[in-house]
Amino acid sequence: MSELDDIHHWLREQLPALLLEYKVPAAAVAISVGGDVIDVAAGVLSRATGVEATADSVFQVGSITKVWTSTLVMQLADEGRLDLDAPVRRYVPQFCVADEDASAAITVRQLMSHTAGFEGDIFTDTGKGDDCVEKYVASIAGTSQLFAPGAMFSYNNAGYCVLGRVVEVLRGKPFDACVREHLFTPLGLTHAANGADEAILFRAAVGHVQPAPDADPVPAPVWALARSNAPAGSMLTMRARDLLAFGQMHLDGGKAADGTRVLSADSAAAMQRPQVTLPALGLMGDAWGLGWELFDWPGGPVIGHDGNTIGQAAMLRLVPGRNVAVALLTNGGNPFGLYTSIFPRLLRDLAGVQLPALPVPPAEPETVDVERYLGTYACDVAEQVVERDGDGRLWVEQRPKGLMAELGGQVERTELVRLSDDRFVPLKATHGVHLPHVFLGDDGTGHALYIHSGRAIRRVPPTA
């Protein structure tokens, strides 16, 4: 029996029990080794209906869509129709954010590498029409600039919607039509959908949310985010095997399984090269490429991306040096617990890659002067209020705003303890993860200018 056969047997045996342990209603796993694929699924697609998950069930892949959007952009570069280092306004003259100098300077490459610098968590619903992405781009005209274009990394959903509009303008058709014509079709995908109207044709998963931190997951009140956010990850839905077909194309230098050239070998390689280094953020990569998240792991390197929508989460990891790809699709509960129970063995046994340990609080947290970190940091979807208690300990209270509040987001307060320098972690884990918070910069008064946990959230100046 081969190593892949052993893994297949182990997954079939272990996955149902792991779903119970982590309160995940359903999951699908697919693995490709040199193009040989196995897949496994377990659980129920909706706790309201009890429909069982199968390997052909489709789940939302969320922000993994960003790599698909980047691939569409690179196809245009291959055709000589787009220059990555040209200002976005060359292709979308109407593009603007609040800062005019930044608006004129921001390049396609900076959007792809999350270094454009403007507020990114904007989920404005501009309708279901074919002009929704165009309207979305117009709607961000007042969006604030967090830092100068190219200065640092801050994950930016809105930037990818702008990229989607670049694709629409140059192709002359809606974003979802571009995905189907230039990716679904040449890749030969059979179980892939752009949104609910197409997903309903398949055995589709429903997202689940927890009404309280320790509550059992229940079906989410809505199935997906707005169509206008499709290029960032609100719509794309597929089975795990079809997601792997996309990943395998990138491992194979831009060729589909049948030899169809989807992307040039040079562009596939360029997408995997670092564009910006990240702060030490735990679950996130060490650097970002053109769409891909880049991990410098023992036995690696590894490339990938994660995705989260309303009650659904997805993880994709590729090991280029070993021609191995792994995808996990879930519909609620604690997907990170499931990930950390499955991926270490898969990547170790199949690719010789060791997942580094996630950060944990020190056994005896040191007492530090926390004055530099105190204050309120805010973005469109949340405020993070960093306070010191009477004993000198540091606390952060996250208060959801806008869409996140409408979707039932709750105020969460947790103690932060120092790992090193300006890097802190919550004393209490969320879904088993102590997500680092890194304080960066200086506001001119000795206080940190940003709190960074994937997004750089800027300090709110104190009122007079």
Instruction: State the CATH class of domain 371-459.
Output: mainly beta
pLDDT tens string 113-163: 999 999 999 999 999 999 999 999 999 999 999 999 999 999 999 999 999
Average pLDDT, the chain: 95
pLDDT at 194: 97
pTM of the model: 0.95
Query: Where do you find CATH 3.40.710.10 in the chain?
Result: 1-356
Looking up tokens 């304080």, which residue turns up? Answer: 439
Q: Are 426 and 412 in contact (CB under 8 A)?
A: no
Question: Residue 121 in 3-state DSSP?
Answer: coil
Catalytic residue (choose from 46, 57, 63, 228): 63
Looking at the domain 1-356, which fold is it? Beta-lactamase (3.40.710)
- Report the share of the chain in percent with pLDDT over 70: 98
* Cβ neighbours around 63 below 10 Å, total: 22
CA 5 vs. chain centroid, Å, equals 30
pLDDT at 48: 97
Question: d(Cα 389, Cα 393) in Å, to the nearest integer?
Answer: 5
pLDDT at 407: 63
Query: Where do you find CATH 2.40.128 in the chain?
Result: 371-459
pLDDT tens string 196-217: 999 999 999 999 999 887 889 9
pLDDT at 432: 79
Question: Where do the H-state alpha helices sit in 80-195?
Answer: 100-105, 108-112, 132-139, 157-171, 175-179, 185-187
Q: Is residue 32 flagged as an active site residue? A: no
One-character DSSP codes across 73-105? HHHHHHTTS--TTSBGGGT-TT---S-HHHHHH
DSSP letter at 156 equals: -
Lowest mean pLDDT segment, chosen from 73-82, 293-302, 356-365: 356-365
Question: Residue 298 in 3-state DSSP?
Answer: coil
Looking up tokens 């974003």, which residue turns up? Answer: 175
Q: Are 334 and 325 in contact (CB under 8 A)?
A: no
pLDDT at 211: 87
